[in-house]
Chains A and B, each alone.
Chain A
Amino acid sequence: MVYEFDWSSIPGALPILWDGMAVSLEITLIAIVVGIVWGTLLAMMRLSSIKPLSLFAAGYVNLFRAIPLVMVLLWFFLIVPRFIADLFGLPPNTDLRLASAMIGFALFESAYYSEIIRAGIQSVPKGQMAACQALGMTYGQAMRLVILPQAFRNMVPLLLTQAIILFQDTSLVYVSALADFFGAAYKVGDRDGRLVELLLFAGLVYFVLCFAASMLVKHLQKKYQPA
């Protein structure tokens, strides 16, 4: 028997799917911002000559890179909400799934970002730091004014590529029954008995968005190729 496609439940589900997309994008954005800030600090710690700092950063990065993301998300789903509720004295039934998913993602992605940023910092010639120091700048000033701006410029394509991967990875929050885009599509399909159509549709949306974004990255890369 040939499967008969029936796409009729999609138009009515668009508002729910849109809300799901908003959740996905929100998680992506927070994870990128926190990931880059915390990742930069981790990268600087890792490159630091202060042993405990570089050991801590190396341990952090290796730990998160050796654990599946889905497991981190589950931990954060099961443990962190209780912890936060205790910490702020929130009633036990407060919905903290979104917050804990965001924290889990951000901490996980920081490990990946820090490796990209570390490579970026190392791509800036050593003489630049020497020149800053010779002009009397402190380490912090040299990093902030000279090294990091150049490092970030060199790594924009990699950071964007990582952001695209991150956006796809947000679909894993379905393990915490959070209605991100993928979760919303799954729920609607399940409700209407049209799982195949909804999942195909969701896949198409992911593909279009990510493919368009990676084309954009390629374009940017060509335009701003370092000389």
Chain B
Amino acid sequence: MIQISHVSKNYGSFDVLKDCSTTVSKGEVIVVCGPSGSGKSTLIKCVNGLEPFQSGEIIVNGTSVGDPKTNLSKLRAHVGMVFQNFELFPHMSITQNLAIAQVKVLGRQQDEAIDKGLKLLDRVGLKAHAHKFPGQLSGGQQQRVAIARALAMDPICMLFDEPTSALDPEMVNEVLDVMTELAQEGMTMMCVTHEMGFARRVANRVIFMDHGRIVEDDEKEAFFANPRSERAQQFLAKILHH
């Protein structure tokens, strides 16, 4: 589904990503973690071409992301992404937020798009809020809407960029529950997150990054039981032991 091979990216002399390679198969859930500044968000944004990269190759569902001939808009329409700060459109109602890209990008009819949007809104437990505006919802609710908005495009895979980092602690679980459900239904997911409970529950593999490199890329059990690198051991010790 997603093949990342030897991807490097730099800002001038600063290397953000160094020779990163991994693959995500259909139906797999991959958690990407690591200290801040390790390049994990940049890596996930390279997957749908939001961040350009200088060398290497990323293939998503047979399409090369870095190829200048690729129609990125077309590719992105089928790769869902959820952002740290939700990024709902504040000047549109929740219903409009869910429908707009379906209508403008996929060319669906307005009623069909609204129908689909409302079904997904119901699925994330927010049907009653359809007519509201993003500013009237809590962070956790906004993030659930953002997930529904991405799902409305019938994505072939979903990218999550720290979906719970901007949330109050008591709202983290409502978002993780939606993500867990998605994972169990077989959605292909790549999640940048520090939620190790989520990783333990649903991830197939865990990727650990540090200084722009993929340091570990292991089955979940192996990663948590016995991380090979010292850096990952330190990281886990810090975030798990309190």
Q: Which residues of A are interface residues toward B (Cβ below 8 A)?
A: 125, 127-128, 130-131, 133-138, 141, 145-146, 149-150, 153, 227
Closest to B106 in A: A136
- CB within 8 Å for A131 and B73 given contacts A136-B153, A137-B104, A145-B104: no
A134 touches B48 (CB 8 A): yes
Of all chain A residues, the one with the shortest Cβ separation from B82 is A134
B112-138 interface with A by 8 A CB criterion: 135
Flag if A131 contacts B74 (CB, 8 Å).
no
16 cross-chain CB contacts under 8 A:
A125-B87, A127-B83, A128-B87, A131-B83, A133-B72, A134-B83, A135-B149, A136-B74, A136-B105, A136-B106, A136-B153, A137-B101, A146-B91, A149-B91, A150-B90, A153-B91
Q: What's the least CB distance linking A128 to chain B, in Å?
A: 6
The answer to whether B83 and A138 touch across the interface, beta carbons within 8 angstroms, is no
Contacts of A131 in B (CB 8 A): 81, 83, 87-89
Across the interface, do A146 and B89 meet the contact criterion of CB distance under 8 Å?
A: yes
Cβ B76 vs Cβ A136 within 8 A: yes
Question: How distant is A151 from chain B, measured CB to nearest CB, in Å?
Answer: 10
What's the dominant secondary structure at chain A's contact region?
helix
* Distance A127 CA – B89 CA, assembled complex (angstroms): 10
Q: Does B165 contact A (CB under 8 A)?
A: no
CB distance from B122 to the nearest CB of A (A): 21
Q: Is the CB of A136 within 8 A of B77?
A: yes
- Is the pair A227, B135 in contact by a Cβ cutoff of 8 Å? yes
Report which of B73, B80, B135, B149 forms a contact with A137, defined as CB distance below 8 A: B73
User: Inter-chain contact count A-B, CB under 8 Å?
Assistant: 62
Residue of A133, A136, A137 ringed by the most chain B CB atoms within 10 A: A136
Whether A136 contacts B91 by the Cβ 8 Å rule is: no
Q: Confirm or deny: B3 has a beta carbon within 8 angstroms of a beta carbon on chain A.
A: no
A138, B85: Cα distance in complex, Å:
21
Are B104 and A150 closer than 8 Å at their CB atoms? Answer: no
Is B50 close to A, CB under 8 A? yes
B32 at the interface (CB under 8 A from A): no
Closest B residue to A136 by CB, please name it: B77
Selected contact of B81 from candidates A128, A134, A137, A146, CB within 8 Å? A134
5 nearest A-B pairs in the assembled complex, by CB-CB distance: A136-B77, A131-B87, A135-B101, A134-B81, A136-B105
B199 within 8 A of A: no
Q: B75, B80, B87: which contacts A127 (Cβ < 8 A)? A: B87
Q: Which of A127, A138, A149 contacts B73 (CB 8 A)?
A: A138
Does B100 interact with chain A (Cβ within 8 Å)?
A: yes
Q: In the bound complex, do residue B76 and residue A135 qualify as a contact, i.e. CB atoms below 8 Å apart?
A: yes
What's the least CB distance linking A25 to chain B, in Å?
A: 30
Q: How far is the CB of A124 from chain B (nearest CB, A)?
A: 9
